[in-house]
Structure 1
């Protein structure tokens, strides 16, 4: 008995390749960018220190985190200043003496970084480099000079002595051969006890200012490197031209994430060797001095 054999042919179909859903991809990218922009504008953003105006507390090459919410939100909070200027603020707050803030230039969309040294209603003046609030000089005490290591981002360049015209040289060599910058340093203590270091090493035009009464909704700000800072005292185009409106303040500096000494290059090894390891995670909030009841201002 013959058995018929049948051959079964199986046909395998190749799965169809779905095309890229470009609309979905673009939508996902747009949502991600909006989330980053929202975080950048309303929560926190990174900030880079490009100048020596905040020496000795901030060095060129420091990278910071700036929080956006401590004083509420305004046009200055929005990253890249995408919104037009205005005098509105949402959940407004007022900085405290000693806060390091990010004011925007009154004309240019350029971020500065300065310290709050006068609040709304204060009668503010500077006499011989010393801040005077409501007629009371803000205490300044001489501190031992800081020893800031010299590197590509720290050149110890403090200009010339106005009396002699000679360069002001604060460089020194330690016993181990390390070259450092030792600028004359003062400790300034504000009425709320906020205390921090400043450099005031020569007499110059901005050492005398005011008196003025700070308007409501404004603060006075100055750089810690007092003789090399374009701030509220400076009415020239590079300065902040007087008291800063609170809606022009885009945030408060919180801490240093990392710092580079200026030797970073294409060699990946330099990404690590250029780090200033002792500066990472340093807080930028001022210390609070123990003033005692006798030092309270009325």
Structure 2
């Protein structure tokens, strides 16, 4: 398949209607006309074959994750995702593969109301980059720099599953078959917490998506806000079966690839947060507190310090 055949058949013809989209795919640039009462949020994530995904992954799973990790960034800001640009480098365009990829991509985009409005396609080693844009009412976007001393610290979903699946792939552990299946599903198809994020704009102070490891990503909030935290590691949500493995604290605290949210909120919002979680069918766990001391303390349920060899994923380590 040729590049422009791919663009016309699989992108232009599937672009949805959008009242704020003046011009979409097919010109040198898209044109959007934002609502002036809203702030625009823009984020970009790149996934590289052999680094972020196995190159034998199914087209459908790859397309899902390429967009889902960007939706997670919008969720962390409390933003409504609106538009995305997709740039792709692949060794060749095989029609069956392209069909499966685009079916999955547009299914997820439609689910979250995202319009694919442009991008680029080239031949080369596996690489996928999405630039996503969303919006919040002016001044209401969640940020990293707004955590306050005394805030509760919450996390959504479960942590460590994706990393545990990778350890199994790398033959460093052998998970039970059903446990591996659940962990692999979490690795391949994380659920962006967009709906909860939108509720949190009026409830939370600060938020961050957990992509490179819970400890490392929480530390971004602490540094930006000039505060510290105490975390009960045993309260961090995970698959109970993973706690039978000696690496479980690493998987949960530093493994990454979770695409959950960590957020801080005042104590008086606890009931409202639980109600928002129930409304959006999102599991949430209260795992710690923001402190005045500017460091992160990881403790177990007995108050003993938990030591990590590393705090999260680093692309250049």
Structure 2-normalised TM-score?
0.26
Higher helix share: 2
Larger Rg, first or second structure (1 or 2)? 1
So what's the TM-score if we normalise by structure 1?
0.27
